[in-house]
């Protein structure tokens, strides 16, 4: 089964922008790349319309004035695009220096500057990617608001590779928690964790929310033990998003593993709300698997 679920080659790709999450995304991606022994791509996507936002105020001008204004606006747009490229390149260079300074040993790092939308760009690059790393919110989102960045949710729903959602401050994980509900998705999460070197050697807990352990939990615990983990099974009653967040805090969990949004509409309604609520409330990295 693991051969069809885990991609053992490919790059770790970190999507960066000028948000407060940039440091966390870069260091989290560097940690993942070093654990996986994978090359690291640092990506900054320039909005294709970033240089074309000037208002067209020329409609009521005479021909000569209109031509002059259009020429001025075109020049301003070109300048804005050039500034955006320079800032993007600086962001990538700083992130690369940061990662190299954070982790020992040589690391294969490539900086990429692309034009387009983030979801479309990541889908285009997905065949080369083993793991995506993104921040919870982008540079235009209110970091104190109780909602996610729109790009993150669109990306997580669109891509099929695992997505590691970074926190603002990265701490080298020592203890991870798998949210387990007995579904096919979370059973695959167990298999993917067991088959990957990403979390190997870390303390492991498996949490089921409900009055009793769901079907398949015992077998999943056994699978993790076979893979070399020493999982602690937990069963707690209550609302999933509340129990997961409380358990993370109470047990000093550094990284949460859970199922991502589903592609079907029914699956989105069942899983999507819990995924979103947990992402909103958790201040630690969340690894979303499908």
Helical pair 118-125 and 150-158, crossing angle rounded to 10 deg: 30
| Tens of pLDDT, residues 134-156 | 998 655 444 444 445 567 878 88
- Tell me which H or E stretch contains 159: none
- The answer to whether 160 and 166 are in contact (CB under 8 A) is no
pLDDT interval class at 23 (50, 70, 90): very high
| Tens of pLDDT, residues 180-195 | 999 888 999 999 999 9
Q: What is the mean pLDDT of residues 83-106?
A: 90
pLDDT at 285 over 80: yes
CA neighbours within 13 Å on the CB side: how many for 85?
Answer: 10
CA distances for 266 relative to 240, 241, 262, 273, angstroms: 18, 19, 8, 11
pLDDT at 1 over 60: no
Residue (of 195, 187, 198, 194) closest to 131 by Cα position: 198
Q: What is the mean pLDDT of residues 193-221?
A: 95
Residue (of 275, 279, 290, 288) closest to 21 by Cα position: 279
Question: What spatial distance separates the first Cα and last Cα of the chain, rounded to whole Å?
Answer: 14
Q: Tell me the domains of the chain and their CATH numbers.
A: 9-50+84-166 (3.40.50.620), 175-285 (3.40.50.620)
pLDDT at 204 over 50: yes
pLDDT interval class at 110 (50, 70, 90): very high
CA distances for 123 relative to 117, 196, 219, angstroms: 10, 22, 34
pLDDT at 119 over 80: yes
CA neighbours within 13 Å on the CB side: how many for 138?
Answer: 19
Distance CA 32, CA 13 (A): 10
pTM of the entire predicted model: 0.84
> 9: helix, coil or strand?
coil
Q: Is the dihedral of CA 48, 54, 57, 61 positive or negative?
A: negative
């Amino acid at each position: 089964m693991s051969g069809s679920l885990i991609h053992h080659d490919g790059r770790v790709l970190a999507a960066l922008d000028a948000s407060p999450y940039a440091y966390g995304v870069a260091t989290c991606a560097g940690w993942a790349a070093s654990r996986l022994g994978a090359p690291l791509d640092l990506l900054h996507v320039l909005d294709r319309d970033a240089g074309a936002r000037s208002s067209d105020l020329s409609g009521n001008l005479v021909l000569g004035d209109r031509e002059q204004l259009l020429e001025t606006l075109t020049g301003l747009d070109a300048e804005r695009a050039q500034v955006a490229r320079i800032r993007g390149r600086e962001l990538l260079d700083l992130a690369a220096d940061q990662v190299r300074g954070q982790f020992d040993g040589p690391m294969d790092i490539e900086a990429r500057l692309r034009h387009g939308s983030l979801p479309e760009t990541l889908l285009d690059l997905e065949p080369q990617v083993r793991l995506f790393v993104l921040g919870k919110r982008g540079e235009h989102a209110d970091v104190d608001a109780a909602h996610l960045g729109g790009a993150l949710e669109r990306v997580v729903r669109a891509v099929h590779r695992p997505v590691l959602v970074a926190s603002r401050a990265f701490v080298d994980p020592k203890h991870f928690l798998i949210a387990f509900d007995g579904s096919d998705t979370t059973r695959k999460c167990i298999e993917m964790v067991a088959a990957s070197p990403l979390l190997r050697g870390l303390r492991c807990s498996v949490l089921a929310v409900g009055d009793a352990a769901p079907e398949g939990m015992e077998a999943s615990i056994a699978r993790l033990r076979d893979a070399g983990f020493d999982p602690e099974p937990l069963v707690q009653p209550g609302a999933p998003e509340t129990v997961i967040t409380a358990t993370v805090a109470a047990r000093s969990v550094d990284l949460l593993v859970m199922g991502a949004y589903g592609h079907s509409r029914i699956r989105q309604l069942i899983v999507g709300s819990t995924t979103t609520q947990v992402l909103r409330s958790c201040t630690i990295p969340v690894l979303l698997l499908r």
